[in-house]
Amino acid sequence: MAGAWKFPERFLWGTATSPTQVEGHVANEWTDYIASDGGHCRVACNHYHRYEEDVDWMAQLGVNAYRMGIEWSRLQSAPFAPLNERELERYIHLLDCLKASGITPMVVLHHFSNPLWITSAGGWLNPATVPAFVDYVAKLVSALKERVWLWNTFNEPDTYASLTYLLGGFPPFHKWRLLSYRNTIKHMAEAHVRVNEVIRRAGNGGRMPEIGIAKNWTFFGAFQKHALWDRLVAGISHHAFNHFVLDAFLGGQRRAASTFLGVNYYGLARFKNFEPMVPAGGACPKQLAQLGVVCDDMFERHPGGLGTILRNFHRRYGLPLYVTEHGAASSDEDFRIRDLTRHLDELHGALNSGVDVRGFFYWSLLDNFEWQFGYSKKFGLLAVDFSNEKLPRQMTRVGEFYRGVCRTRKTPVAVQDFPVAAR
Ligand code: BGC
């Protein structure tokens, strides 16, 4: 690769999925949910039955890491119940397949879904969910500790709590329940601290396990600089989604419960007359393009923000960092490749300036069930044809590009042809 950035030898180049989005055959609060495109998660990519084939695809991609979730609802049928042996064996086999392909797992313990008995008891609003989760994790960790050393307790607690209790996007679809948002975060942060003790106690052979969360980081701003009301909304959003959540998980003594911090980074949301100017918030992509807002099918792109936030987290917390998710949804593969190149440029810049980043996980391995949006958002390194009941996977050009990165540990230096968001 001429004109390329070289990355460290031990860097983890990975990809990521979550159980409800890819596995299929789950019984949780998403099972009966019908997304805006009419889709549901009952079969999804059928990764549940096809994980061996999907691990082969990962090997073809040349990734050396996989951020995977384990679905609580499969493993426990009631609070404090023993784990379901058959389901546990399946996850163990998946971990063994990964190992045989030289792929390091990062296991996510909670990714937007709960067993139905947790949901019906009030979900994360109920303080009793904390000891129930700790019990589940203790049993799981004791079963998997020889195979897993990278544990990610909660994926985007901010997204989960806001979409369930503020924005009405996730079951139980409540809106503007500020106290519920706050209590959900509080209980998850408490569970993180307690689970950290469990994981440390269990260990990983001779090795010290790593523990962290994946924090979604979105930059918020006003589309028109003089619009004080939009600046106010941006400021409140920043406080509620970024500050408050980071403080709950990493403030004061609680920082000691994490050995790393994961960052899920997609970009920027700017407000215009109180409305977020992003496709994920309902804005029309054509109109956004006319206004010069560069978006994928979800968010405004802001590659420079990745470098900014990595430097900022490094300074503020001094913890090793992983980019636990980054990707773009678009049917324009050239756009996705350019977008990825620009973000890898930023990642390299951060590493070069001394930020301790240990890995990058592309979201996502497969086109999958994108929650409220169903199957309409194409994030996959592998495309999945959902109109064919065999759900065939096919390598995308983005996947081929990423394969080059994983295999050579080099990325092409980005040409500055990617319009940068005016901030
Ligand atoms: C979530 C994923 C989701 C992705 C793309 C992240 O916020 O963790 O579940 O699919 O963003 O929207």
- Confidence band for 414, pLDDT divided at 50, 70 and 90: confident
Ligand 1 pocket test: pick from 68, 113, 264 the residue with the most ligand atoms within 8 Å of its Cβ: 264
Cα of 408 vs centre of ligand 1, distance in Å, is 27
What is the model's pLDDT at position 1? 57
Q: Is residue 219 within 8 Å of 280, Cβ to Cβ?
A: no
Q: Which of 29, 71, 156, 210 is catalytic?
A: 156
Mean pLDDT computed over 104-110: 98
- Confidence band for 422, pLDDT divided at 50, 70 and 90: very low
What is the model's pLDDT at position 417? 57
**Quick check: CB of 216 below 6 Å from ligand 1?**
yes
What is the model's pLDDT at position 207? 86
From 351, 297, 299, select the one nearest 323 (Cα to Cα).
Answer: 351
**Quick check: CB of 363 below 6 Å from ligand 1?**
yes
- Confidence band for 58, pLDDT divided at 50, 70 and 90: very high
**Quick check: CB of 113 below 6 Å from ligand 1?**
no
- Across 270-299, b (16+ Cβ under 10 Å) vs e yields bbeeeebbbbbeebeeeebeeeebbbbbbb
What is the model's pLDDT at position 415? 73
Mean pLDDT computed over 342-360: 98
- Confidence band for 416, pLDDT divided at 50, 70 and 90: low
Q: Residue 275 catalytic? A: no
- Confidence band for 423, pLDDT divided at 50, 70 and 90: very low
Ligand 1 pocket test: pick from 370, 372, 378, 381 the residue with the most ligand atoms within 8 Å of its Cβ: 370
220-228: long-range pairs with CB below 8 Å, 24+: 220/268, 220/269, 220/270, 220/271, 221/268, 221/269, 221/270, 221/271, 221/423, 222/270, 222/271, 222/272, 223/270, 223/271, 223/272, 223/277, 223/291, 223/293, 224/272, 227/271, 227/272, 227/273
**Quick check: CB of 264 below 6 Å from ligand 1?**
yes
pLDDT at 126 over 60: yes
Number of H helices, E strands in the chain: 14, 13
pLDDT at 143 over 90: yes
pLDDT at 2 over 80: no
- Confidence band for 153, pLDDT divided at 50, 70 and 90: very high
Q: What is the pLDDT of residues 186-232, one digit of tens each?
A: 999 999 999 999 999 999 887 899 999 999 999 999 999 999 999 99
Q: What is the pLDDT of residues 241-254, one digit of tens each?
A: 999 999 999 999 99
pLDDT at 421 over 60: no
Mean pLDDT computed over 60-85: 98
The enclosing H or E element of 102 equals none
Considering the chain, what is the average pLDDT of its residues?
A: 96
